[in-house]
Amino acid sequence: MRAPRLRRHFQQLDLSRRVAIRALVAFLTTFAFLRALTAVIHFQLLPIHNIVTQSGLHIHHLFWGILLLMVTGFAALATRNPAWHLRIAVVFGCAMALTLDEFALWLRLADVYWSPEGWESVKAAAVAVAILALFALGGPFWKAVWRDMSR
């Protein structure tokens, strides 16, 4: 009974808030999955391994995140269709998670995922979640503030 009501409330939101909510949910889901997956790989809980090329190059998920960010950025610029923006938001949220999960790596240019410096990635993700949540859940408040400030 609650799902149809929740869907109706979601559909009544403006497009920008629906995009932000979708990106937020995709980000949180992907980030949690990545943290769990990397723990499984690191602690060898299952026979899953990192992606390594034949030459020994370890391809971090940061690589895939950057590629997806480029694709979603172009796709968002190239389309005006609201339905596509809602789809792109999901991929964008996943791409942000792939990228920010290895924030410490691209900040330090060193693989510090499991070191104390690796917590910088979690902190960066928390900032991203806070910003997305503020926009997704506090849109009317911030729009009212903007209107008052621009008068």
Where are the chain's structural domains? 16-45+55-149
Task: Specify the pLDDT at position 135.
Answer: 85
- pLDDT of amino acid 92: 98
- Report d(CA 6, CA 8) in Å as an integer: 5
Distances (CA, A) of 13 to 17, 126, 141: 6, 24, 14
Residue 5 scores a pLDDT above 90:
no
Task: Give residue 32's Cα distance to chain centre.
Answer: 10
Give dist(CA 26, CA 15) in Å, integer: 16
Local confidence band at 7 (pLDDT 50, 70, 90 cut-offs): confident
Average pLDDT over residues 128-144: 83
25/42 Cα distance (integer angstroms): 26
In this prediction, what percent of the chain has a pLDDT beyond 90? 73
| Bigger pLDDT: 83 vs 10 | 83
Encode pLDDT of 15-74 as tens digits.
Answer: 988 999 999 999 999 999 999 999 999 999 999 888 888 999 989 999 999 999 999 999
Amino acid 1: pLDDT:
54
Q: Which of 27, 21, 4 is nearest to 137 (CA)?
A: 21
DSSP class of residue 138? S
